[in-house]
Amino acid sequence: MTDELEGYCPHDGMGRFRCDGCGGTKFTSYAQTCPADRRKLWTYEYTCLNCGMVMGMEYRRVDE
């Protein structure tokens, strides 16, 4: 199995979060504060394990 296929494999029609710097797909993230009202938009920071670029992913919890 190649390194690209280890871990999360998107379903048909889905993409993969990729580093804007090198195209890598493996990241680390550290504990971060999030708003008490999780319906509000906040950003998680991820650091690329390949090149060290820090990227932000905006997230909002949607209760169904």
The per-residue pLDDT for range 3-57, each reduced to its tens digit, is 555 666 778 888 788 999 999 989 999 877 777 887 788 888 999 999 999 999 8
Backbone angles phi, psi at 59, to 5 degrees: -140, 140
Rg of the chain on CA atoms, in Å: 14
Q: Is the pLDDT of residue 1 over 50?
A: no
Q: What is the 3-state secondary structure (H, E, C) of the chain?
A: CCHHHCCCCCCCCCCCCCCCCCCCCCEECCCCCCCCCCCCCEEEEEEECCCCCEEEEEECCCCC
pLDDT of residue 8: 67
Higher pLDDT, 28 or 60: 28
Instruction: Give the whole-angstrom CA distance, residue 10 versus residue 33.
Output: 28
